A and B are shown apart, each in its own frame.
Chain A
Amino acid sequence: MTPSTLPESIFENLRLELRRGCLTLAVLSQLRVERYGYTLRKALEAAGLDIDEGTLYPLLRRLETQGLLQSRWGEENKRRKRFYKLLPAGEDVYEKLTVEMARINASLDRIVAEA
């Protein structure tokens, strides 16, 4: 199949697969300080990583179920907001994933440079 006839959906699926793990790492990195959903999203966006709420909130729920972060209802600007922060287990996982990510990146750099 030539690149021009490759369905866009195939690229899109591969891109999402590639992004999924990176998003988790990015979210963990931002929650070393307590944030609520909206500011978390803005922080990621400012760093160049767009993530829509439909993806972000379920991801936060999963991480919370896995015992990596905790959440609480708080108030800001007279509005109830849900605040998230890493638990010690989450910080531990974050450190390990960062090391792993760096290793993958270094390997990929070498592989892509050779190709």
Chain B
Amino acid sequence: MTMLDRYLHAVRVELPKRPQTDDIVAEIAESLHSQIEERERSLGRPLTDDEEAALIKAYGRPQVVAARYGPVQFLIGPDLFPFYWTTLRSVLVLVVAAILLAGAAASIATRNGTHFFNALNAAFNSIVWVCAIVTIAFAAGERFPQSLARRIAERDWDPRSLPPAGAIAAPRSSSLAEFVANILMLLVLLDARGAHYIPPDAVVANMLAAMHVALTQAWLPAYYVTIGATALLALSAMALFLRPSLSAVHESVRGITSAAIGASLVLTLQAGRLIAGPDLWNTAAVISLVAALLILLLQIFISVRALLRARTAVQP
């Protein structure tokens, strides 16, 4: 088997299996034979091994030569890539959120915190699957004009329905982090009521028990308001992730939930003792509630200021 035969075979292996494959290889063979003959004619002698190797090398590495015959040279091209990227991020967050929520629900329903930690593990594994499936779908979209990915990229849009320019698009990473933080907070709050204690709650419960103190019923209104507010914030953060231009809506939700929690804390302060136990602990609880109120006031101030700024940006 000559060097040329081996080269042609290497190219054939790299070529996509199509009816034209034989033709392509035959043509490359013919071209190289012609070149070799021309060189031999001009030199007046057969080529040496080194000369033939140089000539074949100049034709190109088999993978590169074969790749030039492929219609698509990239996995996902520049036309589809922006849609691939947004789709990947949206699907990732939806799947991870759904798994975490299901885990949280299972944990609460069965009073068993391990369901949530299993869900964390499943969510982590799902990242790999989502990446693979979305990537394959878009790689297919690059090759088949009727595919779903292609239709996503080519769907109609209307300049009139674009969000206002003043709406500051929130970074998706921060809205995602906020969503996850609120879901975890929600889980901890719900778990505390059920008193089966997932690890963060258990630490607080053990600490309180060690000090022979207990929270009084005075906390209950604030507790329920905080659960509602946290759920609302999680939903709003998810909406903001999907539509980063909704930052004004989310900022309003932040301000309103802060105000609601603040009001419930004021009610709690007026309801009587906060701690069943030593007076010192009760005073400490009152001080921490007042501190929390101040932080909430600060959040309301930040939200109102951000909303006013967004308004002036829209109407200069």
Query: Which residues of A are at the interface with B, using a C-beta cutoff of 8 A?
Result: 37-38, 53-55, 57-58, 61-62, 65, 73, 79-82
Contacts and interface: CB of A to CB of B under 8 A. Distances in A.
Given A61-B20, A79-B33, A54 B65 contact: yes
Given A54-B59, A62-B71, 8 more contacts: A37-B27, A37-B31, A38-B34, A55-B68, A79-B30, A81-B30, A82-B26, A82-B30
Nearest to A56: B31
B27 A54 contact: no
Contacts of A53: 28, 31, 59
Contacts of B20: 61
B34 A80 contact: no
A65 B70 CA distance: 12
Contacts of A61: 20, 24, 69
Contacts of A82: 23, 26-27, 30
B272 interface: no
Q: Which 5 A-B pairs have the closest CB atoms?
A: A58-B68, A54-B60, A38-B34, A58-B69, A53-B31
A70 to B, nearest CB: 13
Query: Main secondary structure on chain A at its contact with chain B?
Result: helix
A106 to B, nearest CB: 31
B287 interface: no
Nearest to B64: A54
Contacts of A54: 59-60, 64-65, 68
Contact of B28 (A57, A73, A80, A81): A57
A80 B165 CA distance: 65
B31 A38 contact: yes
B59 to A, nearest CB: 6
11 contacts: A37-B27, A37-B31, A38-B31, A53-B31, A54-B64, A57-B68, A57-B69, A58-B68, A79-B33, A79-B34, A81-B30
Contacts of B60: 54
A61 B71 CA distance: 10
B30 A80 contact: yes
A12 B67 CA distance: 20
Interface string B11-37: 000000000100110111011011000
A53 B27 CA distance: 10
Contacts of A81: 30
Contact of B24 (A38, A57, A80): A57
